[in-house]
Amino acid sequence: MKLKDKISIGCSIVKAKLLKESIPLFVAWSLTNRCNLSCKYCNRQDINSTELETAEIFLIIEQLKNSGTKIISFTGGEPLLRADIGEIINYTCKCGIYVNINTNGTLFSQKINALNNITSVKFSLDGPKKVNDYIRGKDSFQKVVEAIKIAKRRRIAVSIVTVLSKYNLDSVDYLINLAENLGIGILFQPPTLTLLGTDVVNPHIPDVSGYRDVVDKLIVYRKRSETVLNSIKGLTYLRGWPDGRDIFCYNKNISCRIETDGYLYHCGRMQDKTAALNCLRVGPSKAFDALKDVSCNNCWCALRLENNFIASLDLRVIFSILKNSKWRDRI
C-alpha cells in the first residue's frame, strides 16, 4: 500500500473518532458460503444462501469507492471457489481499492494467476500436518504451506490466522516457529461457542484453563517477538474467553461486513437481518449509515478486536502496531 493511502486512512480514522463521522474504510465481504473443506468448528458450507451476480458485485464496489472505502477483504466460505474471483479482484483494484483475501489456501496455487492484484492474504492454519489435517481436511497443511511460499514469491503480504481449539493448544510453539521460519506473522483467536453458521453448541472448544495458559504464553511471546500479531491488550481481552467483557464497537464508524446476499452488518458475528439493509436495494452508503451504536461482550475475532482498538485511537495498540514490521507489511 502506498504511503499516501496509509496516511489518508489514518486521517479518516481520526476523523471518525473525533468528529464521529462514518466512513466504510474497511469492508469484509463474504462472497460465498460454499467451501471445499469441512473444518470441525464450522458449518457455514451447509448454509443455503443467495450469491450476488458479478455485475451486482461490481455495482456495489463502485458505490463503495464513492463512499471512501480503501480496503475490501473478500472472505467466505472459501472465496476462491467463485469462478469470477479474478474479475472481482481486478475490478476492485481498478476502482482504487486494495484487496485482501481470506482463504484456507488449498486452491491458492491453481488460482494464482487470478490473484496477481491482491495486496495481502490471510491463510487459515491450525497446527502441524497431523493436527491441521485432522481439523481441516486431508493435505490441507501441505497446500497452505505451499500457498504461503507462492504468495511470498509474488511479494504479497502474508499472515496466518489460527483458531485455538481443544486439538491444538499444544501446537502453539510449533506454529510460532513455523511462522518465524516463513518470515510472516500469526494471529490467534478463540473459537466461537457455537459452530460457525449455526446455533449448535461447538463441541470442539478447548478446556478454559488450558486455553488461558496458552494465551499467557502468547503474551510472553508478544513481548519479545513481532511474529505474534495480536497486541498485548488484544490478548488480555481474549484471555477472558468464554466470559465476555463488554466493549464498545468503534469499528461501527469505519468498517462493516457484507454477506453473500448483499445485506450489510456490523460484522460476521452480529447479524440482525430485521434491522439490516441490503446494498443492492439502498446502496452500501445508506446501509452503512443505518448501523446503530453497539457494544459487544463476545468480540472473539482477533483482527476485528485489534481494529476496534485502532478505531478508538488506543495509542498503546497503535504504537505497538507501528513498531511491528509484520503488521506494517500487511497494510
Exposed (0-12), middle (13-18) or buried (19+): which is 201, by Cβ within 10 Å?
exposed
pLDDT of residue 45: 61
pLDDT bracket for residue 202 (50, 70, 90): confident
Average pLDDT over residues 196-205: 81
**DSSP notation for 259-284:** -TTSEEESBTTB--TTT-EEHHHH-H
pLDDT at position 270 over 80? no
3-class SS string, 199-236? CCECCCCCCHHHHHHHHHHHHHHHHHCCCECCCHHHHH
pLDDT bracket for residue 43 (50, 70, 90): confident
Average pLDDT over residues 246-275: 88
pLDDT of residue 3: 73
pLDDT bracket for residue 322 (50, 70, 90): confident
pLDDT at position 44 over 70? no
Q: Name the residue with higher pLDDT: 263 or 1.
A: 263
Residues paired with 29 in a beta bridge: 74, 258
User: 74 by DSSP, 3-state: which?
Assistant: strand
- Span of 70-74, 130-134, 166-170, 242-246 with lowest mean pLDDT: 242-246
Among 165, 159, 202, smallest CA distance to 303 is for: 159
pLDDT at position 331 over 70? no
pLDDT of residue 269: 77
CA distance 35 to 286: 31
Among 251, 254, 256, 248, smallest CA distance to 287 is for: 256
Average pLDDT over residues 203-221: 96
Q: Which CATH number fits domain 3-330: 3.60.110.10, 3.40.50.450, 3.20.20.70, 3.40.50.970?
A: 3.20.20.70
For the stretch 83-115, pLDDT in tens is 999 999 999 999 999 999 999 999 999 999 999
DSSP state of 100: E
pLDDT at position 273 over 70? no
CA distance 122 to 131: 19
Instruction: Enumerate the domain spans of the chain.
Output: 3-330
pLDDT at position 328 over 70? no
CB atoms within 10 A of CB 75: 19
pLDDT of residue 255: 95
pLDDT at position 70 over 60? yes
Cell of 284: 452500501
CA distance 79 to 102: 8
pLDDT bracket for residue 330 (50, 70, 90): low
pLDDT of residue 329: 60
User: 311 by DSSP, 3-state: which?
Assistant: helix
For the stretch 277-301, pLDDT in tens is 999 999 999 999 999 988 888 788 9
CA distance 303 to 90: 25
Average pLDDT over residues 22-43: 90
pLDDT of residue 185: 96
CA distance 180 to 128: 14
CA distance 51 to 118: 22
% of residues, the chain, pLDDT over 90: 69
Those residues whose C-beta lies under 8 Å from the C-beta of residue 23, and which sit 6 or more positions away, are 12, 15, 16, 67, 68, 253, 254
| Identity at 264, one-letter amino acid code | L
Among 264, 292, 248, 261, smallest CA distance to 51 is for: 261
